[in-house]
Chains A and B, each alone.
Chain A
Amino acid sequence: MKQIPWARIAVSIFFIGLLATPATMRWRLAQRTLAAHTTLDRQAALARHGFYLEEVSHTAGIDFVHEAPTLDAKLNPIMPEVASMGASVSIVDFDRDGWPDIYVTNSKEGSKNHLYRNMHDGTFKDVAKELGVADVNQPGTGVSMGAVWGDYDNDGYEDLFLIKWGRPELFHNDHGHGFTRVSEQAGLPPWINANTAVWFDYDGDGLLDLFVGGYYSEDVDLWHLKNTRMMPDSFEYAKNGGRKYLFHNLGNGKFEEVSAKVGINSRRWALAASAADLRGTGHPDLFVANDYGVSELYLNDGKRFHEAGQQTGVGFAPKSGMNVAFGDILNDGHLAVYVSNISENGALIQGNNLWVPKEGTPANTISFENLARDMGVELGGWSFGAQFGDLNNDGTLDLYLTNGYVSLDRTRSYWYDFTKIAGGNSAIIGDAKDWPAMDGRSLSGYQQKHVWLNDGAGRFVDVAQAVGATDTYDGRAVALADLWNRGVLDVLVANQRGPLLLYKNTVTPANHWIEFDLRGVESNRSAIGANVELAWNDQKQIQEVSGGSGFSAQNDRRLHFGLGKDVQLKGAVIRWPSGKLQKLDSLVPDRLYTIEEPQ
């Protein structure tokens, strides 16, 4: 009698089980993201998630549509891909009236940037032209890529640094009544192809310094190319990008470029940068997310920077970094870093990074682990700008991510050709003429956005569709601000070749909040770098005033804390950039506190 081959049968069943595993994993993921695919029901969203968003840009008087640049005709076959950035949004109270205003960039040659003054009645009015910061994209001077605001001369009014592919511009804010261009007097170089800049006081002298990260090499004029060898020489190891600049503020309206002197030497393709005191040393560290390569983390000892990307774990795997946002997501007094990358089913799965400091590592040996997958914020499509903020005031920081690269023909994709060239040798990938023509095809276009709610227990859940973030434009920049002083964070999204979206937030009144508007005296007036640790109930959370974060964006400088229900505020500690500590007691919720640095 023939023996039944039980072992072979068991192995065959095991094999079939292995083949079925991906389907099981996909089903589990689908169950987890079910909320992401429901439609908006305001009351249900309010009851279930504690908030909902309504896109109100038109009724608020904002009808801005971004226009992309038209670069040298040699780039025509891949123009949509090359001219794919420039939409940005930054929040500033430029006239110090206590209401956040909005600055938004345009990128077509001759197009106008807009400065939307908050009219206090739910609407905004564009005053860029009359104040002199509209006509900044004139042919021959390059076009805008972003803007960051900081009071470099400590006169109490936020000044404007305009990030460009072209001539960088510094505008002095004349007490809210107008702006004066001071680029030459400040000592800025004639041309930088940059996509990121950040104000911070790296040496603690009370004056804001400025980091600018080059993308294309500064000797490339994208409108008059000498040749087409201006593309990255690698998809993941490129080092032929623009140089980095650190402009040290001399205090007399002039800046000295000191990057090499203080240890910043890189020609990676920087797309996003932000600064924060990640180690509690009192000195802001600088995090740079690079396209076509690894991220860089410059640890600051107060005088010099030491690049520690590999050492700290954040600069190990090369990806396509496009965002830097900081947030105390675990309410443990430590800042995590969110870096966005590319994920496209069936083509490229980089996954976004959520760098969380490892527990128990002392300041000098800080290291991070990527918890994006564990916490559910890993896959975000072709991700761009993201910001942390407590959108439902429940006491934990949520994450808003926009995405989508080039949305053209919905039925035809450029992905195959993109991967074909991206894997090639530098001699091929580095030359634009070798790239296949896009021919109207999309590249990760029409993507759904992500609004990840922090459940406070180590998981984020995507509720974008359920709370009303339903657009599918090619998102670039995200900025958060309490635009109408209601104690909630509204969301602004700048889209490439698309409208500026204003998502007005409605939050359940059961949840409380508190906000801080900090003003430095010995420290820089903008209080950039000031850190607030707030304690309530059994929670504590830190937030830091930023001079630019996300992708081509800047949140409101005012710090917003959600507190949840039944709040017992214990107090706050402000650590000013000067090193002073200030304790605040007797705080009550649902108030905006304006705090000046004590003398």
Chain B
Amino acid sequence: MSQPTTQSKTPSAESTSSPLFRGWTPVSSRLNPYLPPIFITLILLIGHLSFGILESYQKTILAIVSAMACELVLSRLLLHRWPNLASSYITGISVGILLRSPGYWPYVVCALLSITSKYVLRVNGRHLFNPSNFGICAMLFLASDAVATLSIQWGNNLVAMTVIWVLGSLIIWRARRFHICATYVASFLLLSVVRAWITGDPWLSEVSPITGPEYQLFIFFMITDPKTTVRSKIGQSLVAFLVALAEMFFRLEQSIYAPLYALFFVGPTALAFEMWINSRRSLAATPQAVVHTNPVQP
């Protein structure tokens, strides 16, 4: 019998406890909370210094500062304590990399939406949405005239792409979350054959998106986020497959942001379903159990 979900009393760190570094705890537990931000900063710096992936430093910094300031204020306001800002830093930097807009305000609004969603959209003490996924999808839904997402390569050569994939996979492997990425990638590739068969387009054109950086961030930072994924290993793999499946349907409808939308809908649904299952099991085991409903109280 599986254990009930551990209730988190604090809004999640998008990757403070990122899968990327869980397996590294024995190596340096003191550094552990800071390794994910360091890793994503390295990706940003390498991507930008090598290929200039950022629209501007100012916009990225604006997104980071907005996210961190928002986290600071909301944590003080609702939790009455000083937060660890590593997760909001990662959210800000993800927004800075993934969002594309000539204007400045979308970076601020997206970062604020991402962080605020963690405090507002909660069920039984857990937030359902990956913060940056929520923020970016909300902007794409509501401000399609002002924003797009990163849709370019990082250097467009196979070597660079392979290095990122190998490094990311090794880290994910150590973090014991490789099965999520592997399931998603395998599902994407399998379903790309199906899509090519349905649309009649070249198979490589269906594979093409996953060779871009948007997917590298999506796979390593979004679908593996421990705070917004289900607990069981089989469940995680099943959700990864369902994300790929939902993405296929979005793609068949010619949705440009299919993976983000797929995660937006499948991720929270899976979490809610898991909570429902767990609550039923808990009730069955201990009918007098009290469900914790106000987790933001300290």
Report the bound CA distance from A349 to B101 in whole Å.
6
Instruction: Establish whether residues B209 and A424, one from each chain, have CB atoms under 8 Å apart when the complex forms.
Output: yes
The reply to whether the CB of A433 lies closer than 8 angstroms to some CB of chain B is yes
The reply to whether the CB of B4 lies closer than 8 angstroms to some CB of chain A is no
Report the bound CA distance from A316 to B48 in whole Å.
10
Instruction: Establish whether residues A426 and B205, one from each chain, have CB atoms under 8 Å apart when the complex forms.
Output: no
Instruction: Establish whether residues A235 and B152, one from each chain, have CB atoms under 8 Å apart when the complex forms.
Output: yes
Instruction: Establish whether residues A236 and B153, one from each chain, have CB atoms under 8 Å apart when the complex forms.
Output: yes
Instruction: Establish whether residues A22 and B117, one from each chain, have CB atoms under 8 Å apart when the complex forms.
Output: no
B215 (CB) vs chain A CBs: closest residue: A423
Instruction: Establish whether residues B205 and A420, one from each chain, have CB atoms under 8 Å apart when the complex forms.
Output: yes
Residue of A318, A345, A419 with most partner-chain B CB within 10 A: A419
Give the number of A-B contacts (CB < 8 Å).
163
Residues of B within 8 A of A15 (CB): 113, 116-117, 120
Instruction: Establish whether residues A434 and B204, one from each chain, have CB atoms under 8 Å apart when the complex forms.
Output: yes
Identify which of A237, A350, A425 contacts B158 (C-beta below 8 A).
A425
> A-facing mask of B42-78, CB < 8 A → 1, else 0?
0000000001101110000000000000000010011
Please tell me the number of chain B residues within 8 Å of chain A, measured between CB atoms.
57
The reply to whether the CB of A403 lies closer than 8 angstroms to some CB of chain B is no
Report the bound CA distance from A379 to B143 in whole Å.
14
Instruction: Establish whether residues B78 and A7, one from each chain, have CB atoms under 8 Å apart when the complex forms.
Output: yes
Q: Which of B21-29, B134-142, B232-240, B266-274 contacts A (4 or more CB under 8 A)?
A: B134-142
Residues of B within 8 A of A22 (CB): 106, 109, 139, 142-143, 146
Instruction: Establish whether residues B153 and A426, one from each chain, have CB atoms under 8 Å apart when the complex forms.
Output: yes
Instruction: Establish whether residues B158 and A18, one from each chain, have CB atoms under 8 Å apart when the complex forms.
Output: no
The reply to whether the CB of A373 lies closer than 8 angstroms to some CB of chain B is yes
A345 (CB) vs chain B CBs: closest residue: B145
> B-facing mask of A427-445, CB < 8 A → 1, else 0?
1110101111100000000
The reply to whether the CB of A14 lies closer than 8 angstroms to some CB of chain B is yes
Given A234-B152, A425-B158, check contact A347 B296 (CB 8 Å): no
Given A15-B117, A426-B153, check contact A349 B100 (CB 8 Å): yes
Report the bound CA distance from A233 to B152 in whole Å.
11
Chain A min CB distance to B74 (Å) = 6
Given A15-B117, A378-B102, A424-B211, check contact A435 B202 (CB 8 Å): yes
Given A22-B146, A346-B144, check contact A8 B208 (CB 8 Å): no
Instruction: Establish whether residues A436 and B201, one from each chain, have CB atoms under 8 Å apart when the complex forms.
Output: yes
> B-facing mask of A344-372, CB < 8 A → 1, else 0?
01111111000000000000000000001
> A-facing mask of B200-220, CB < 8 A → 1, else 0?
111011111101101000000
Instruction: Establish whether residues A429 and B52, one from each chain, have CB atoms under 8 Å apart when the complex forms.
Output: no
Within 8 A of B (CB), among A26-74: 26, 29
> A-facing mask of B81-125, CB < 8 A → 1, else 0?
000000000000000000011110110010011001101100000
Instruction: Establish whether residues A18 and B116, one from each chain, have CB atoms under 8 Å apart when the complex forms.
Output: yes
Residues of B within 8 A of A485 (CB): none
Report the bound CA distance from A347 to B101 in whole Å.
11
> B-facing mask of A317-358, CB < 8 A → 1, else 0?
110000000000000000000000001011111110000000
The reply to whether the CB of B157 lies closer than 8 angstroms to some CB of chain A is yes
Report the bound CA distance from A351 to B254 in whole Å.
23
Report the bound CA distance from A235 to B212 in whole Å.
11
Identify which of B102, B140, B143, B208 contacts A350 (C-beta below 8 A).
B102
Identify which of B77, B109, B158, B205 contacts A7 (C-beta below 8 A).
B77
Residues of A within 8 A of B103 (CB): 373
Instruction: Establish whether residues A347 and B100, one from each chain, have CB atoms under 8 Å apart when the complex forms.
Output: no
Residues of A within 8 A of B52 (CB): 237, 294, 316-318
Instruction: Establish whether residues A434 and B205, one from each chain, have CB atoms under 8 Å apart when the complex forms.
Output: yes
Identify which of B101, B117, B142, B212 contacts A424 (C-beta below 8 A).
B212
Instruction: Establish whether residues B152 and A346, one from each chain, have CB atoms under 8 Å apart when the complex forms.
Output: no
Residues of A within 8 A of B109 (CB): 18, 21-22
Report the bound CA distance from A428 to B206 in whole Å.
10
The reply to whether the CB of B156 lies closer than 8 angstroms to some CB of chain A is yes
The reply to whether the CB of B175 lies closer than 8 angstroms to some CB of chain A is no
The reply to whether the CB of B148 lies closer than 8 angstroms to some CB of chain A is yes
Report the bound CA distance from A419 to B258 in whole Å.
11
The reply to whether the CB of A19 lies closer than 8 angstroms to some CB of chain B is yes
Identify which of A23, A346, A426, A433 contacts B256 (C-beta below 8 A).
A346
Report the bound CA distance from A8 to B145 in whole Å.
31
Instruction: Establish whether residues B102 and A419, one from each chain, have CB atoms under 8 Å apart when the complex forms.
Output: no
Residues of A within 8 A of B254 (CB): 413, 415-417
Chain B min CB distance to A144 (Å) = 31
The reply to whether the CB of A594 lies closer than 8 angstroms to some CB of chain B is no
Report the bound CA distance from A350 to B140 in whole Å.
15
Report the bound CA distance from A18 to B121 in whole Å.
14
Identify which of B112, B142, B147, B256 contacts A419 (C-beta below 8 A).
B256
Instruction: Establish whether residues B211 and A425, one from each chain, have CB atoms under 8 Å apart when the complex forms.
Output: yes
Identify which of A10, A413, A420 contacts B208 (C-beta below 8 A).
A420
Instruction: Establish whether residues A436 and B202, one from each chain, have CB atoms under 8 Å apart when the complex forms.
Output: yes
Report the bound CA distance from A29 to B106 in whole Å.
14
Within 8 A of B (CB), among A107-124: none
B150 (CB) vs chain A CBs: closest residue: A423
The reply to whether the CB of A457 lies closer than 8 angstroms to some CB of chain B is no
The reply to whether the CB of A12 lies closer than 8 angstroms to some CB of chain B is yes
Instruction: Establish whether residues B112 and A18, one from each chain, have CB atoms under 8 Å apart when the complex forms.
Output: yes
Residues of B within 8 A of A350 (CB): 102
Instruction: Establish whether residues B201 and A437, one from each chain, have CB atoms under 8 Å apart when the complex forms.
Output: yes
Identify which of A19, A294, A425 contacts B161 (C-beta below 8 A).
A425
Closest 5 CB pairs of A and B: A424-B208, A351-B102, A22-B143, A416-B254, A423-B212
- A residues near B (Cβ < 8 Å) are 7-8, 10-12, 14-15, 18-19, 21-23, 25-26, 29, 233-238, 294, 316-318, 343, 345-351, 372-373, 378-379, 413, 415-417, 419-429, 431, 433-437
Given A19-B142, A373-B102, A423-B152, 20 other A-B residues pairs in contact with their CB atoms under 8 A: A7-B77, A11-B78, A12-B120, A19-B138, A22-B106, A235-B153, A294-B52, A316-B52, A348-B100, A349-B148, A417-B205, A419-B151, A424-B209, A425-B153, A425-B158, A429-B156, A431-B204, A434-B204, A435-B205, A436-B202
Task: Sample 18 A-B pairs with CB under 8 A, ordered by A number.
Answer: A7-B77, A25-B146, A234-B152, A234-B155, A237-B155, A237-B156, A238-B156, A317-B55, A346-B148, A348-B148, A349-B100, A420-B205, A420-B206, A423-B208, A424-B209, A424-B212, A425-B211, A425-B212
